[in-house]
Amino acid sequence: MTPRATSELDHCRNGQFPRARMRFECAIYVEGGCPLHQSGAAAPRWRMLNGSDPEVTMLRSQWLDDHGQPAPEFNAARRLDRAVAEMLGLARGILADGVVAPEEAEALAQWIRANPDTAGVWPVDVIAHRLNRIFADGRVDPAEQWELKDLLEQLVGGKFGIIAGSNVATSLPLTQPPPELRFPGWTYVLTGRFAFGPRAACERAMEELGAICESTVTRRTRVLVIGTFGSRDWVHTAFGRKIEKAVAYRERGLPIAIVSEDHWAAALP
């Protein structure tokens, strides 16, 4: 077996230790024999290393950048979450006066250019595509201002969400046209808060009709229903992990529908 240095952090990730020592001068388990022992003697299972040992140098090169900070890939998801939340805040600020001025559209485009990692992430990619089309001729005309305002209102949940401060569910990722809904044998997942009532009541109403209700979006999911009101536990306020996952599955061609509470409630008998 090829010698491999494994830190306590690896074991922690595998659930074998309750916590990791967040430093490199830690105990290292050398699997398959220690490369420093060339005499053929059995290597100790654990030994204390310091910052100059080869195994520590290897781990540093894999986990830290040239400035001693965690490598970019370790924080990529967290940075994207913060960036999308920042973009949504910018959109709310632009819509606060009910008008999207040309300079505000340009400010939004500049933000996307300054954050290129978000350009391929939903919902930033939708806004970026629209802005590219708007600025294709180098100017923003009144019709394009209205078009961008409408899109941003969908993005942050509409005018009610801006004025009342409530994270009203966006209509942006909804399946269009809204599909015909059935209940017997179909798997439903709910996200957000519902005007219909508590989530348990919503699920009970469907289960009485033969539907299957689950708490997470999977390949079995047939319909994701977004409640009228946003929920505090959504990562991007109005955009939850369930929505992101459903959108990703839909883009892969899976038959999953994303519908609003209004459309779902209208299908109930």
| pLDDT tens, position by position, 156-214 | 776 656 665 666 677 668 899 999 999 999 999 998 888 888 889 999 999 999 999 99
Q: Band of the pLDDT at 78, cuts 50, 70, 90?
A: confident
pLDDT value of residue 216: 92
pLDDT value of residue 116: 87
Cα separation, 30 vs 53, in Å, equals 13
pLDDT value of residue 26: 40
Mean pLDDT in residue range 69-85: 71
Let me know the angle formed at the C-alpha of 138 by 134 and 144, rounded to the nearest 5 degrees.
30
pTM of the predicted model over 0.75:
no
Decide if 151 contacts 91 (C-beta within 8 A): no
| Domain assignments of the chain as residue spans, ordered by start | 4-63, 75-164, 187-267
| pLDDT tens, position by position, 220-266 | 999 999 987 765 545 555 557 888 899 999 999 999 999 988 899 99
Q: Band of the pLDDT at 66, cuts 50, 70, 90?
A: low
Cα separation, 107 vs 120, in Å, equals 19
pLDDT value of residue 252: 93
Q: Fold for domain 187-267? A: Rossmann fold (3.40.50)
